[in-house]
Structure 1
Amino acid sequence: MVLRSIGLGLFIIFVYWLSSHAPGMHMLFFPTLGAFGFLFITRSPGMPELVGIAGGAVLSSVVGTLAYTVNNGMASLFVSTLFTIWLVRRLKLNAPPIVAVSLIPFFAHPELPWVAPLSVALSLAGLVAVLGFVYVVERVMARMEAAKLQLGQGVRMDVDQ
């Protein structure tokens, strides 16, 4: 869990830095990114579930963006929220941050409609990639520890005999 937390923290720092220093990248960093990261490191989902949740978030950002593009008022916000809740339940994604992602266009007011879904897609793809790497490192470390213990037991058995 410590390695996952460090990986998540470093990723969030990188995305924040990138979004504040690179022109046009300011929407890569959104508060829900931390919620997705925490969800991913505490639940230990498999890669298919990670990709499913990330895909659901991208889809919900498209829904929110379409609703915002049609009308940026309260009625569109309401419809976007209800539709996203339905989508999360229908696809059995069990990831509440997905609903929050659909609201990004309503508070970020993107100049171009495709920016919010693209930003969500890129940020979550990066998060999945980083955490996938961390999961692989954890597995390798666990195998090395198991081999070390096995080797240690074998040596003790030889000494005892």
Structure 2
Amino acid sequence: MSRLKAVLKTVGERFSVARPGYSLMEILVAVAIIAVLATLVAPRLFGQLDRARVTSAETQIDMLETALDSMRLDIGRYPTNEEGLALLSTPNPSVSAMWQGPYLDEELPTDPWGNPYRYRAAEGQSDRGQVYSLGADNAEGGSGLDADIGI
């Protein structure tokens, strides 16, 4: 029993070596370095996010235009301004006999900024209109991230 106590005492002494903790100055320097790195990296990450939103909007516009082309094959024309993109999901009485939709797997999507996509009918019924997003500012025109997409 005394031998066991001696071994336990020796092991305990080995692991109980006093180690000093980090000083306040070392912690402050580490936090400062992390803050500097964050300020350098954050703008690049947010820039990537903004570019991803524009790319997502362009992809969704292409998908909506493809759905419009499929619908035109069935009903013989593109939607009017009044019918808009809603005709992809729900037929109106004038086309219900020929309408084979819905032409989207899900509900009509919103743009990456949460605003509805816009549709402007072309002059002739055989021409596809424009599907577009007003961009980040949700207003006509603009530049950079606020530029309209799809026009």
TM-score normalised to structure 1 length: 0.29
Larger C-alpha radius of gyration, 1 or 2?
A: 2
| Structure of higher RCO (CA pairs closer than 8 Å, 6+ residues apart) | 1
**TM-score (normalised: structure 2):** 0.31
